[in-house]
Amino acid sequence: MSLSIGIVGLPNVGKSTLFNALTKAQNAESANYAFCTIEPNKAVVPVPDPRLQILADLVRPQRVQHSTVDFVDIAGLVAGASRGEGLGNKFLATIRETRAILHVVRCFDDDDVIHVANSVDPLRDIEIIETELLLADIQILQARIGRMEKLLKGDKTLGPKLEAARRLLDHLDGGEPAATFGEPSRALDELLAELRLITAKQIIYCANVDEEGVAEDNEHVRRVRALATDRGAEFVKISAKMEEDLVGLEDDEYQEFLESYGIAESGLDQIVRTGFGCLGLISYFTAGVKEVRSWTIHDGDKAPRAAAAIHTDFERGFIRAEVIGYDSFVEHGSEAKCRAAGALRVEGREYVVRDGDVVHFLFNV
């Protein structure tokens, strides 16, 4: 399972700079002018997890494979994007395919860095972007309603879905995102799965600050943090430019630099951890001489479903799972020693896989 995060925001708020920092590669052009990003930038980024390297040091495999996050950076959106203004509207279909939205907001004052509105006001900027995303969803929903109305005479089973779509449209027309529509039903679930409405996705507000704003929140950051708290949304603060400048440093130097600014974890760690949390994702491990690997599943997945992350045949032919807790594996140092110490458990189909479990699946197809 891959976690995909779409990066949105006004032009020139630091999206591409953040993309470079997150991917640790200068493969997204960034510059001090609007619409620098023309084509959507995509990258597959390994999820940093120190537990994976600790397991690798014990097992000494031929290779180590991290879970991954897909980051998608599109051109900045502007007021009127839903009507074709600017460039970002062309790539909203790309964002619809992601599982979460990282909304980057400029939270620093600098006369040398232009702003499309010629002033820094993060709440105004957030409203502009969210209005355009809402209008884009309204257009998609209106088109779907129009098609269903034409097909209804020949297919009466569309009735519940059409009614759910109309109620959802009223909700969106009232200025509310799809995520706050509180009328769950099977018809609505099917509709949302088909349309992949942007405003139905989890939002992570990302306050992009300068170096001075890293250690202590400025007024811009406090306003965005308060908004996120008020909406029950996730929030991260990052200095995209500072982290971009760190690209290429050795791990020790990198960590030392972060600590000098009072930062406990990198921007990538913050965003991935927050993304995992808001989407209810966890990781389990497989550990053998050929490969030590991390697998991403939903928190609460039972063993057969978790096995499907490796291959669908594992779920279909699931027999049992041999499970060692991460702490136990590290304590004893190997699978063989865990077996000898009675730390390896045999679990069946109803076992709920836990974050950090080291698992070996037995199956037959």
First-to-last alpha carbon distance for the chain, in angstroms, is: 22
Q: Which residues pair with 286 in a beta bridge?
A: 293
Q: Rounded distance, CA 169 to CA 192, Å?
A: 12
Asked whether residue 294 is marked as a ligand-binding residue, the answer is no
Q: In which order are the strands placed within the sheet that holds 100-106?
A: 41-46, 68-73, 3-8, 100-106, 202-208, 234-238
Asked whether residue 296 is marked as a ligand-binding residue, the answer is no
Compute how many other C-beta atoms are within 10 angstroms of the C-beta atom of residue 361. Answer: 21
Asked whether residue 17 is marked as a ligand-binding residue, the answer is yes
Residue the block writes with tokens 């031929």: 62
Strands 291-298 and 63-65: parallel
Amino acid at site 240: A
Nearest to residue 177, comparing CAs of 136, 228, 229, 144?
136
Asked whether residue 272 is marked as a ligand-binding residue, the answer is no
Which of the 8 DSSP states describes residue 200? G
Amino acid at site 280: G
Q: Are 289 and 61 in contact (CB under 8 A)?
A: yes
Q: Rounded distance, CA 81 to CA 91, Å?
A: 11
Compute how many other C-beta atoms are within 10 angstroms of the C-beta atom of residue 163. Answer: 14
Residue stretches of the annotated binding site for ATP: 12-17
* Binding-site entries: 12-17
